[in-house]
Structure 1
Amino acid sequence: MPDVPDEAWRRLREIDAWWRALPSPDGADVAQTEWIDSIPANTWQEMQDGQATAISEIRADAELMTALRAVAREADDPVELALLYTVLRDAVIDYQTDPAAIAGDPRVDWDARTMETRLSVYLPEGTLLGDSGDSGDSGDSELPALDAADESARELTLIGGTPTRFPGLADPPGSEFLLQFDCAVLRRAAGHEGVARLIRENSLPRQGVLQLFYAAGRDSLTTPEVPGGGTTLRHVSEAAVRRRAPGSAAGGASGWPMVLPSFGASIEASPRAREIVGELQVESDQLARSVFPDENFDAEFARNPFTARVRPVTRLFPLPSPGFELTSAELSRLHVQLPLVEPDDAHVLFVEVAPSHALGDLLRDDERLHVWLRRSDVTNRRYVDVVTFRKSSPAHPRP
């Protein structure tokens, strides 16, 4: 293991010392929440302030941070790994709606000038049940059904399954339903400056629903003669959404696959920074999926938080995941099928669809589906002309 001065370890363990200084719980069977509730507020605040000061001092020491990164690559003690992770990671949590600030954080060991960041909408899908199928409640646990007339609380975002039905609007022939995004999510979150900027810069709709359909096995490379490679992206007006078919409101049993949208960072950098960008993307996916219990991930995280992984998350308005950037053939096809007329126009990755149990075998574990538009079309809310690429990671090229 790399040589780290004893003083460095002392400063690192000072973080844990504040936690251990709290009063011990009375009895072995006391639940952690009950124990925390029993601690006086001033004692708890003193612990948090002490930890925050110790962490800030370590992060401000660039030489120490470099040494600790080397230690983290070879450490195997769970307690030491947890302390190292506390100091070295989770920048994405502190800047959840301000991803531009991530590049300047001391936890990101890379030149900020070589990184591009963007706020994205994450669409984690899952259930409120743990891997054991036990939600932790006695009896049948259900979410309260929403009143279909209460549009302020509706949530129609879906991945896989059956799309919401709207009057006079049929599914595109020969296509599979991929996802549906309720634009009310943007309206409800518009009070956050980062989200407001995302809406403003892209003229995104805050009403209605976006739906995405996919012709399985096709894309703009394999079937360039078919518009969008067989993929259809459409915006359903708010008026049509309010006339949706009965039973198309959100709500249902906790075991029903649901999507809980959130906001987080997307990051892209030069190939030399791919490892760092990959780490940040993993942390962003973990943050998005933290709303769903996952006992397997929790156990893996307890053993080594640096190697624990969750399934990738589908994102709207993202930057490509590391290893899934445009190839030269895709870039050429993009310019042929979506030519840029205005000098300030550009191509925009509108959605990166990740594999999901809800999508069955439409995408392999090592695949992503990318849907591209012109920025001008996004700004003018024209979702007709799209280019789609079904992509595999470099380690698993498409057959």
Structure 2
Amino acid sequence: MFWVVLSTAAWAQQTVCSPEVGICDHLTIQEALLTAEPSVPIEFVLLEGSYVEDGMIVAGGRQITLRAQGAVTVRAATDPSTFVVLDDSSLSLEGVTLSANDGRAARVSGGQLVLQSVVVFTLGVVGEGAGVLITDGVLQIRDSLFLDSVAASGGGHISATDSVLTIERTQFLGGTASRGGALELTAARVGGATLSDVRFQDNLAIQSGGAIYVEGLVALQIQGGSFQGNFAQQGGALTVGPGEAQVGLEGVIFEGNESNDSGGAIAILDSVVQVIGGSLIENIAGEQGGAVYVGTSGGLELKRALLCANEADRGGAVRSEGSELQRWSNNRVVDNEAIQSGGSDRARGGDPRGLPQQLPRQPGPAGLSGADRVRRGVAPQPPGATARGGGAQGRWIGGVLGEPQPDLAQRPGRRRGASGLSLRRSPARRLPAWCWVWGDR
């Protein structure tokens, strides 16, 4: 699929308004779309007002831009999707508030949708992709805001299949779904998403991927941005599910995300995920992997990252069961807590003492390098502050290790429930100052 971007300066421009506003070229958006000629780019200026219409379909190779002049809200009257983009057609929306009642904001099949400075929110529940549902298409989003959309299946805000997404400087807030509270990305053939400076906050997934769920042949690259306060059963912020995904994160902040089960911030069930820089702070898992959980078919490369004040029953920072590549280098691992074992790092077959040790160069499920710094990995039961088996890449578990503190329940802010761990942290909890000191290094 190949798209040619033309300068809007050369486009024809017409106006759309409601009858009470005044004289304009078209009285409805539907009328304007029907008059557009295929393959001829045209821009319609939407004059200030609220447009409630059906039949807003872009098809037949049309190239449409709708640009708001003043405050403009657009939603469908009864159609299941406010806008539909089909058949290698293109729709660009600029400065519009896009909504839907008991439907989705946009559906794309084989076309291109561009959102610039757009607000998207929906009311009611749809099957998948409450904000945008896209298949075999291209989606570009810049400087936009997605709010409080709910999908029963996947993708509270966006569900994308075999599609290419580029998202920049955008916020996804309050999305809810079974998988991928904000984004669900799947691909059977080819698909990819590039995210730059994107914020995910307070999204929720009933099952996996509080903010993002990835499955299949998806290439996902995230540069900068943050995941804060997202929640799921597994993978509070991000879950990489079955398939051969390629996932790389650089300079991303994961803070205060939670899972009932595994991976307070990230759950890696399959594929190798690369994390470079950034920080994982105060994430909580009810069972294992306060910051990151790596399943038996997963792998993790972790470089120059800060892991601080994360909590779980097992593996306060990281819990690894994976047989794939596990490589750590130049990380800062500070003040992570486990109710049972592995205050900082927990992998199968770990040393029960949790002490600095020289490790043999033989295959094993985890590997901290000599440049990793470990401080105050707290676990009241063996294997102690760090626990792992073998030495896939690392020769030392080093740095400064604090003494185990058996009376963990008495630490400020800790509230233990029947399972031994409360997922909602008390406001009395104060983030250790060295989280930020080390994070700046």
Band the TM-score falls in, shorter-chain normalisation = under 0.3
Which structure has the highest helix share of the two?
1
TM superposition score normalised by structure 1: 0.25
Which structure has the highest strand share of the two?
2
Larger RCO of the pair (alpha carbons < 8 Å, separation 6+): 1
